[in-house]
Amino acid sequence: MILFEFFQEVWHNNIRHLPLIGQLTCGFLAFTCLPLLVSVVSISVCILVPMRIISKFTTKWCTCKNRMDGKTVLLTGATSGIGYEAALDLARRGARLILPVRNMEKGKTVSSTISRLTGNKNINLKFMDLANLDSVREFCQSLVAEEARIDVLINNAGNAPWEKVIDITDDGLEYQMASNYFGHFLMTNLIIDLMKNAAPSRIINMGSKVHWRSTDLDMDNLNFQRGDAGYWKIYGASKLCMMLFTKELSRKLEDDGVVVNTMHPGVVDTPIYDRQPTYIRLLLWIPRKILFRSPKEGAQTLIHLAVAPEVQNISGKYFVDCKESSWYSCVVEDTGMAKRLWKKSCELVQLQEKDLRI
């Protein structure tokens, strides 16, 4: 049924617009390639199912049972995927949640669902678009006026449009870079006093092993307006920036009782893949459903960093599968690059000296 719907979509969006000879050619290729497709699918299932069984047994789960009563957690990207599963878990532990969302209607639905499933009504839904600096500033101004402290900040939200065209925001920032990194950088700086007020407190930044694709980061071209960069290159750059940000922020906060760590969730089946071109969605459909981790599995390291007592005094580190990992690019350890990125980021998000609290 799913394959039928897929080919229906291909026909509607692509093939029906071809001239008759093109339609006949596509039909011939589909007919002659069908046995090959069936063989590929069968072989893939035979290989991937055992791999998924192994993955199920090797996935690390957060074993900490600590409650979060009296704790305030700010979590971005909570309307789907890893963020939703993390919000659900933390709500079950009694945490008070602040969920900034771009789509308020979707946010209200998610908030109601979390409250219904956990019995936790202490969820504060607020509007914020991470790709819009004015929106981030307005959110932070409101938050500082209303809140006295934030115990855990989880910079989880991420975007991967998958288009090859560079999309520049009204602030002059590349869209992925703005959503995944610059928005979080600005927000964290503007609310850092709330984190200090809650010390010992924690900041968790979402990284990724994809950062390896962008280790040649150009500080003068962070928005990719020069050269030819694909979406993986930009996505990797946004994650490398988050990891360098983690290192420098950890250094700046080492005497303030605020720890900062980053993590890789694994390869997770989240809605981020639904935005891919049709042919990639077809190629990845079986691996996604069989081999990729579920969002709940992908959220485990994030939850571990938010609640586990053994990481309270660990800062500036990279975690995979609920444990510290050293498997990352040596660029992440480049203190000079981290400092240059910090300075350039302040410039690009127009963070004034009077705004800095670190």
Say which CATH number the domain at 144 has. 3.40.50.720
Amino acid at site 339 = K
Are residue 159 and residue 287 in the same domain, yes or no?
yes
The reply to whether 39 falls in a domain is yes
Are residue 176 and residue 298 in the same domain, yes or no?
yes
The reply to whether 66 falls in a domain is no
What average pLDDT does the segment 243-258 reach? 98
Are residue 118 and residue 227 in the same domain, yes or no?
yes
pLDDT on residue 50? 64
How far the first Cα of the chain sits from its last, in Å, is 55
The reply to whether 12 falls in a domain is yes
What average pLDDT does the segment 138-152 reach? 98
Q: What is the pTM of this model?
A: 0.83
Find the domain containing 149 and state its range.
Answer: 72-355
Amino acid at site 115 = S
235: annotated active-site residue:
yes
The reply to whether 67 falls in a domain is no
What average pLDDT does the segment 17-45 reach? 53
Q: Which of 72-81, 145-154, 262-271 has the lowest mean pLDDT?
A: 262-271
Are residue 46 and residue 169 in the same domain, yes or no?
no
Are residue 286 and residue 319 in the same domain, yes or no?
yes
Q: How far is CA 221 from CA 170, 174, 207, 215, 227, in A?
A: 17, 10, 20, 13, 9
Q: How far is CA 317 from CA 52, 144, 298, 325, 332, in A?
A: 28, 28, 18, 8, 10
Are residue 261 and residue 335 in the same domain, yes or no?
yes
Are residue 199 and residue 83 in the same domain, yes or no?
yes
The one catalytic residue among 181, 235, 318, 328: 235
Are residue 13 and residue 99 in the same domain, yes or no?
no
Are residue 236 and residue 306 in the same domain, yes or no?
yes
Q: Calculate what percentage of the chain has a pLDDT beyond 70.
A: 77
Number of domains in the chain: 2
Higher pLDDT, 8 or 202: 202
Q: How far is CA 196 from CA 154, 184, 257, 276, 304, in A?
A: 15, 17, 7, 40, 21
Are residue 54 and residue 203 in the same domain, yes or no?
no
Highest mean pLDDT among 155-169, 276-290, 337-351: 337-351
pLDDT on residue 59? 75
The reply to whether 13 falls in a domain is yes
pLDDT on residue 306? 99
The reply to whether 65 falls in a domain is no
pLDDT on residue 18? 45
The reply to whether 293 falls in a domain is yes
Q: Please, are residues 132 and 108 in contact by the beta-carbon 8 Å criterion?
A: no
pLDDT on residue 2? 39
Residue 288 backbone phi and psi in degrees, to 5:
-60, -45
Query: Rounded to an integer, what distance in angstroms lies between the CA atom of residue 196 and that of residue 161?
Result: 35
pLDDT on residue 272? 67
What average pLDDT does the segment 217-234 reach? 84
Q: How confident is the model at residue 1 (pLDDT cuts 50, 70, 90)?
A: very low
Higher pLDDT, 81 or 275: 81
Query: Rounded to an integer, what distance in angstroms lies between the CA atom of residue 156 and that of residue 261?
Result: 12
Are residue 38 and residue 147 in the same domain, yes or no?
no
What average pLDDT does the segment 272-286 reach? 67
Query: Rounded to an integer, what distance in angstroms lies between the CA atom of residue 307 and that of residue 309?
Result: 6
Are residue 38 and residue 114 in the same domain, yes or no?
no
